[in-house]
Amino acid sequence: MSRLRLAILSVLPLGLLAACAGMPMDAPASPAMGSAPPPPVASVPAPDTARAQFIAQQRTEARRLEGTGALTRARQHWRYVLALAPDDTEARQQITRLETVIRTRRDAALAQGEAAMMRGQTAQAQTAFLRVLALDGANAQARRRLLELETRAAFARQDRKDARARIARTAGTEAPDDER
């Protein structure tokens, strides 16, 4: 009975881990039961080969991302290449080119957002400022403008709510729901 209890206690933690990981649990092989040796581990490629493969994958992913318009993510993949191969002139050129494109698009979107704000087109301004943040997540001007737009919208909502409450009071139909 104690061997069975020991076997159950040794399998229980593995079962819990497998359940938490959402993976099927294979019955653990006990060395005392004469189990077969573990399967051989797949050969690991040489470090230089693995590095070259990783760099090639990053180049491919950077080109694919740029094709989809994800310029900042593409630039990040070129930076991975440059980190692993500091003398890579193509990576350096691609990073410089992408930074120029990102800066140009960011500045154009900022100008569009500012112009939309001046015209009172809140939705277009928000879209333009969000586009800026998609290109440059740390852009303080776009963040300030989005906060300003949200503040304006909050004041407008409060003004509408106050106006409804005034109308209800003057009409004598004020209800507890109107005071929310």
Q: Cβ(159)–Cβ(141) under 8 Å?
A: no
Q: What is the pLDDT of residue 29?
A: 47
- 46-78: pLDDT as tens digits: 778 898 999 999 999 999 999 999 999 999 999
What confidence tens digit (pLDDT) does each residue in 155-176 have?
888 889 988 888 888 887 655 5
**Distance from C-alpha of 86 to C-alpha of 91, rounded to nearest angstrom:** 9
137: Cα within 13 Å, side-chain hemisphere? 3
Taking the CA of residue 18 as centre, how many other CA atoms within 13 Å lie in the half-sphere pointing to its CB?
Answer: 11
Write down the pLDDT at residue 81: 94
- 129 pLDDT tier (thresholds 50, 70, 90): very high
| Domains within the chain, CATH numbers bracketed | 47-171 (1.25.40)
Bigger pLDDT: 15 or 53?
Answer: 53
For the record, the structure tokens of 60 come out as 């491919």
The separation between CA 136 and the C-alpha centre of its own chain, rounded to angstroms, equals 14
Number of C-beta neighbours around residue 21 at 10 A:
9
Q: Report residue 144 as tokens.
A: 């300030």
Token pair for 58: 């990053």
Q: What residues contact 99, with CB distance under 8 A and at least 6 apart?
A: 75
Question: Structure pTM?
Answer: 0.61
Tokens representing 6 are 């020991």
